[in-house]
Amino acid sequence: MKVIQGQPVDIENRRIFSAEISIENGKIAKIEEKQHDVKSFLLPGFIDAHIHIESSMLVPTEFARLAVIHGTVATVSDPHEIANVLGKEGVKFMIENGKKSPLKFNFGAPSCVPATSFETSGAVINAEGIKELLALPEIKYLAEMMNYPGVIFKDEEVLKKIAWAKHFNKPTDGHAPGLRGEDAKKYTEAGISTDHECYTYEEAEEKLDLGMKVIIREGSAAKNFEALIDLLPEHYKNMMFCSDDKHPDDLVLGHINQLCARAVAKGIDVFKVLKVACINPVNHYNLEVGQLKVGDPADFIAVNDLTNFKVLQTYIDGELVAENGKSHIQASAFEKPNNFNTSFKNPEDFEVKATGKAVKVIEAMDGELITNEVRLQALEKDGNLISDIENDILKIAVVNRYEDKPAAVAFIKNFGLKKGAIASSVAHDSHNIIAVGTSDKEICNAINLIIKHKGGICSVDKNDEKVLPLPIAGIISDKDGWETGRLYQEIDEMAKDLGSTLKAPFMTLSFMALLVIPDLKLSDKGLFSGKQFDFVDLVSN
């Protein structure tokens, strides 16, 4: 029997006391009140209530090695990134890899593969595929239903997927940014139980009133903490924390522990904050994660205080998996499945003939997934429309990575590059190749570097190039989290040296092909308006 001393935090009963916790066979056998000199606080481990592990560019086992340092003991993970590349086999790869780690990964069945019919993905998961996945005990829920128009207008295939979730008594996650009023009511009544996409206080409050659980998201690109945190004191029973998408360099620095510290710094009651961070996900998703109670799995953490939440120790199933910033989880071997079938490109593939100078331009928003549509004058040269560096109207291209097809090309504002180009095969949700650059040649060079490595992110400028290969599905590194984080940071810094003013240029770039987030985006098939939910012409009359 293992005995741990500390100051347990009883979240439900709102008390802190001196005690010894006895652990036997991975479970908490006893919690005995006892005076001692150990001042560290013991609390249930943190849970990320909605995350795409793939966005860390790490396999689950490597993600776990970093996350446990920050007190994370479990995640609610939507594997739709790898599913869009490899289908059901990609989901099963994540499940099997996750089993090699003590961290408790709770995967969902990706509901939108592909996310829309307006892009090319590497796989399709229909209602029968959803049924197969939901029948697996490792699948805890139907993952984010991004096709909210399909829900509202009762698309037969969409409703079948939700029906299978109800059949297996597993919740359905939502994804409906900006959805309000009667449409939000229809969406909720169809069986959607959460939303992590609220970007205003009023929207989140309305969805809470409709019976949804609202998840406060703070990722590498999308950050809604400040907009929504003031709802927590009143609605703490129906809220959770998540990161959604977190790049490796950010994961090295912190995870859900950071959100707890920020919430407490705002004067919010610590018991309410911890209920959101540690308890609510367990109850909502029926997770097999301990809540610091007798008979529960011994999943808990020791922290130095209840303000900064510096994690001293992390225990999962009674085993010490991290201590004082060092992970005790060992690296595991894994396979490298992929799906990459496109040829090298030429600069001419990215030319745009000047049939008019007024164009619809994607306006990227720093720290947001949403974009605006602005109409501006493009720069013309030799009968072609080209990047206008001076006015920050740069060319953006998306290349189908599953087969040889013509590139889709448009223009984007707010990336700020003064030279060179950046590219990535992490491009939600179908993960084609996306690039922004100052010339057709630089864009071509960046895209060809991604093709050469069959996936990755890169920054290029004339004779200088930096690349992080992503050989697993073209979206995941085969390196450990620290090395991946270091390489990512170098490429990110080079992008900023090229002129980008964005806080996370590659994370922002990865969402410029995400058609289900309004307004103007670019898929491999063309320029797309989220408001009209259809393709639109680049040249504006």
Report yes or no: 255 and 325 within 8 Å, Cβ to Cβ. no
- CA-CA distance, 360 to 371, in Å (whole number)? 12
**Cα dihedral sign for 146, 174, 225, 430?**
negative
Interaxial angle between packed helices 60-67 and 88-98, expressed in degrees from 0 to 180 and rounded to the nearest 10: 40
- CA-CA distance, 452 to 463, in Å (whole number)? 17
Partners of 24 in the beta sheet?
A: 27
- CA-CA distance, 45 to 299, in Å (whole number)? 6
Q: Indicate the SS3 state at residue 241.
A: strand
The segments of the chain whose pLDDT lies below 70 read 541
Report yes or no: 229 and 216 within 8 Å, Cβ to Cβ. yes
- CA-CA distance, 143 to 136, in Å (whole number)? 14
Tokens of 139: 């699948």
- CA-CA distance, 259 to 276, in Å (whole number)? 10
- CA-CA distance, 236 to 229, in Å (whole number)? 10
| Structure-derived torsion over alpha carbons of residues 528, 534, 537, 541, reported in degrees to the nearest 10 | -120
- CA-CA distance, 459 to 218, in Å (whole number)? 26
- CA-CA distance, 62 to 151, in Å (whole number)? 36
Tokens 């013309």 sit on residue: 380
| Structure-derived torsion over alpha carbons of residues 524, 94, 48, 14, reported in degrees to the nearest 10 | 160
Tokens of 21: 């916790």
**Cα dihedral sign for 57, 58, 64, 65?**
negative
Cis-peptide, bond into residue 114, ω within 30° of zero: yes
Report yes or no: 244 and 259 within 8 Å, Cβ to Cβ. no
pLDDT recorded at residue 115: 83
- CA-CA distance, 454 to 475, in Å (whole number)? 9
Tokens 């570097």 sit on residue: 449
Q: For the beta carbon of residue 25, count every other beta carbon within 10 angstroms.
A: 9
**Cα dihedral sign for 286, 86, 349, 501?**
positive
| Structure-derived torsion over alpha carbons of residues 207, 209, 212, 216, reported in degrees to the nearest 10 | 60
Q: For the beta carbon of residue 354, count every other beta carbon within 10 angstroms.
A: 17
pLDDT recorded at residue 517: 84
Tokens of 363: 């306006």
* Amino acid at the residue 398: V
How, if at all, do strands 194-195 and 213-217 pair? parallel
Q: In degrees, to the nearest 5, what angle opens at C-alpha 92 toward C-alphas 86 and 98?
A: 120
Partners of 472 in the beta sheet?
A: 476
Nearby residues of 249 by Cβ (< 8 Å), 6 or more positions away: 485, 486, 488, 489, 492
Report yes or no: 12 and 20 within 8 Å, Cβ to Cβ. no
pLDDT recorded at residue 541: 67
pLDDT recorded at residue 16: 98
